[in-house]
Copies of this chain bind each other. A is one copy, B any other.
Amino acid sequence: MKSFSFEVKAKDIAGRIGSLTVNGKKVETPLLMPVFDFKRQIIPVKELAGEFRFKALMTNAYNLLKDEELKKKVLKEGIHKLLGFDGIVATDSGSYQLMVYGSVTTTNREIIEFQNRIGSDIGSFLDIPTLPDAFKPRAEEQLNETLKRSEEALNAEFAVNAGIQGGRYLDLRARAARGIGSRFELNAIGGIVPLMEAYRFLELVDIIAAVKMNIPASRVVHAFGLGHPMLFSLAVALGCDLFDSAAYSLYAQNDRYLTADGTKRLAELEYVPCSCPVCSRHGIGLKEFSGEDRVGLLARHNLYISMEELNACKQAIAENSLWELVARRCRAHPKMLEGLNKMTEHSHWLSTLDVITKKTAFKITGPEAEKRTEVINARKRIERVKSECLVELPVFGKIPAELLDIYPFNSLVEDYGKQRVRDLEKVRALMDYQFGENAGELISEKVRIKKSRATQRIRWLYEGGEMIASVRASDHLVIPHEKLALKLKEKFEKPRLRVILTEDEDAIQFVKEGKSVMNKFVKEVDSELRCGDECIIVDSKDNFIRTGTLALSPAEIKDFKRGVAVKVR
């Protein structure tokens, strides 16, 4: 029987670096699965697994089923042996053929059973991909059939790559998402390849958002067929975890050279703007090849650049610079820029998932910066702060001068001059900003504020000889210690600032000892908190247990059964 688990390791916007384990095989997301086509073997599996180091592949189960010889072989030895690949094998059901050719000669039950028998790690039922421009009644009919078919996959022996359809109708996508997301752990956004090909990125963004908003935050999301690297950062930022690419090969067969900034015809290139092993070796000499050699080299370049771009996305998540990456990529084409602007229309939702303090300075990339998640989160908190001394910052507008040291304001200050602010006022404003209106009143005149000798910045708060808080050197945020946390708890009513544990005694004990709070032991969490926020951990009777830092967003903590919710201090 299948096993499937997913945890989030790092976050930025709705993007995440995750650890996905299927049947004991562990991979990191965002993950790219190259499609291997038995009929057109451009790059051998050995090379995909070896030189390219892919840990997951995708291939088409329907094509195997329809080839007598391969069918016999795969039923006998299993898909892994047939491929010569011991990583994760995902199989497609023939849905794509259904979309392109209008019909297939198999049934949902047959293709599910076939995938059970060949040992797919990830498989698909025969969902019906709705073309983007299908009339709504038709899209609805197809969706109803897809949802019905999904029922037959509930007991599949593979992880079901459950298709969410609905064409370009967002209400249908939302309904599909609720239907699929409630029952399957792996959700595939289907029918989007035609949008990719036609540069309909406005609709693509809306569809991904509609799906994500209507499934649990813990679902692994597969952007089915979205293999063009120029779209990776945008899709990752919206929360897609899996990508497959037949594109690397299909575009190569069409003499197309992929870049993170779009598609080039090889024939029109005069220089290769790439240093992958293919391009380093051949340079523009690539154009001198023809036939299969040319296709093979192009496919390899396309795959290298796709991996490279996914790595760029992961690095951007790791350093919290994903907005900046998306902003650069989306300037490669006006339709991409439209996609970026459309994404900012979802910033309110995205801001609930984003982290509250970032490792990389806030950088203005253009008009879209004003609508970023960080701006929404910051503006909400600025309202909590009363200040006599406002400073005008670009993008953010009027900001209390007391806050200029913290993210996201600190990188914008330089040219606007820092205001002199009394230390006590600064700490109080930070408390208001971080924890809520008047939280700063908890810092009395008697509190002693100690500064770092080296940097002359506030580092520690003492009251009556006891340290009540520290101020983090990296981002200048206040980290309340127990005494101050207790005062905060008293000032703000349940569930404000709180992560409330279930009644599991062992779990409570572990947290008391300083171990992380695991998602499954969280009963409730203040939805105004953000990933990266300091929080107060209490039991169901509101007894103080510890303080900690949120490792996920509240929505994720609610939905995830695995992984860390709060890093305990």
Once A270-B314, A324-B331, A328-B331 are accepted as A-B contacts, the answer to whether A275 and B366 lie under 8 Å apart by CB is no
Considering the complex, give the chain B residue whose CB is closest to the CB of A261: B328
Q: Which residues of B contact A367 (CB under 8 A)?
A: 366-367
Taken residue by residue from 21 to 64, chain A's Cβ proximity to chain B (1 for < 8 Å, 0 otherwise) reads as 00000000000000000000000000000000100000000000
Contact of A315 among B270, B328, B365 (CB under 8 A): B270
Considering the complex, give the chain B residue whose CB is closest to the CB of A312: B273
Taken residue by residue from 296 to 314, chain A's Cβ proximity to chain B (1 for < 8 Å, 0 otherwise) reads as 0000000011011101101
Contact of A331 among B274, B275, B311, B331 (CB under 8 A): B331
How far is B360's CA from A268's CA once the two chains are assembled, in angstroms? 12
- Copies of this chain, count: 2
Taken residue by residue from 323 to 345, chain A's Cβ proximity to chain B (1 for < 8 Å, 0 otherwise) reads as 01001110111100100000000
Q: Is the CB of B273 within 8 A of A315?
A: yes
Q: Is the CB of A273 within 8 A of B308?
A: yes
A208 smallest CB distance to B (angstroms)? 23
Once A277-B280, A280-B277, A367-B366 are accepted as A-B contacts, the answer to whether A271 and B318 lie under 8 Å apart by CB is yes
A269, A271, A334, most chain B CB atoms within 10 A: A271
Q: Is the CB of A366 within 8 A of B331?
A: yes
Q: Which residues of B contact A53 (CB under 8 A)?
A: 283
Q: Is the CB of B363 within 8 A of A366?
A: no
How far is B324's CA from A367's CA once the two chains are assembled, in angstroms? 17
Q: Is the CB of B276 within 8 A of A280?
A: yes
Count contacts on A: residues with CB < 8 A to the other chain. Answer: 40
Taken residue by residue from 382 to 401, chain A's Cβ proximity to chain B (1 for < 8 Å, 0 otherwise) reads as 00000000000000000000
Considering the complex, give the chain B residue whose CB is closest to the CB of A28: B271
Contact of A311 among B271, B276, B366 (CB under 8 A): B271
A274 smallest CB distance to B (angstroms)? 6
Is there a chain B Cβ closer than 8 Å to A376's Cβ?
Answer: no
How far is B413's CA from A334's CA once the two chains are assembled, in angstroms? 12
Interface hits, A224-238 → B, CB 8 Å: none
12 extra interface residue pairs, beta carbon distance < 8 Å, beyond A271-B311, A275-B305, A280-B304: A53-B283, A269-B315, A271-B318, A274-B311, A275-B276, A276-B276, A277-B280, A327-B331, A328-B329, A331-B365, A337-B364, A337-B365
Q: What 7 pairs across the A-B complex have the smallest Cβ distances?
A: A273-B312, A275-B276, A366-B366, A275-B304, A270-B318, A271-B315, A275-B308
State the A residues within 8 Å of B (CB): 53, 261, 268-277, 280, 283, 304-305, 307-309, 311-312, 314-315, 318-319, 324, 327-329, 331-334, 337, 363-367, 411
